[in-house]
Amino acid sequence: MPNTLEASIDIAASPEKVWSVLSDLSRMSEFSPTTVKMVAVGGVREGAFTVNVNKVGWKIYPTTSRIVRFEPNTAFAFRMNENRTTWTYELSPTATGTRVVETRTVDPKGLPGWLVKTIKVAMGGEQKFEADLIAGMQETLSKVKVAVES
């Protein structure tokens, strides 16, 4: 499994405008096809704990994470406690607005054994699982673009 998966999009708006939408984690369910709800306990800030409800197909499951990077108008990241992956959103100004890059990085220790087995048995194997993650990242960014530009 590759260490990092990535997707990006250009949005015709300032980094500040993109940030105001993207960093509002209560809206994550509008954008991500796998997020039902995401709540930052005590507000969105570095070190905050999040409680999440996720779905894949008919399967609904809870997760938690910690916000590990919070740089207004530039970047934020959260590390999933259950699978040791980090999801990062980085914003860079462009001549026409903002480029947003979303990455999913696996901890150097790799994914937990239970998850590797689950991916193989219940999620169609590693290649399908990764393709689904990238498609979900692209869908998330496309929906953020629509929300920001409308």
In angstroms, the CA 70 to CA 38 distance is 16
pLDDT of residue 19: 98
pLDDT in tens, the chain (150 residues): 568 999 999 999 999 999 999 999 999 999 999 999 999 999 999 999 999 999 988 989 999 999 999 999 999 999 999 999 999 999 999 999 999 999 999 998 888 888 888 878 877 888 888 889 999 999 999 999 999 999
- List, in order of start, the domains of the chain with CATH numbers: 4-149 (3.30.530.20)
DSSP string covering 40-108: EETSSSTT-EEEEEEEETTEEEEEEEEEEEEETTTEEEEEETTT-EEEEEEEEEETTEEEEEEEEEE-T
Q: What size, in residues, is the chain? A: 150
Q: Which two tokens stand for residue 109?
A: 């220790």
The pTM assigned to this predicted structure is 0.92
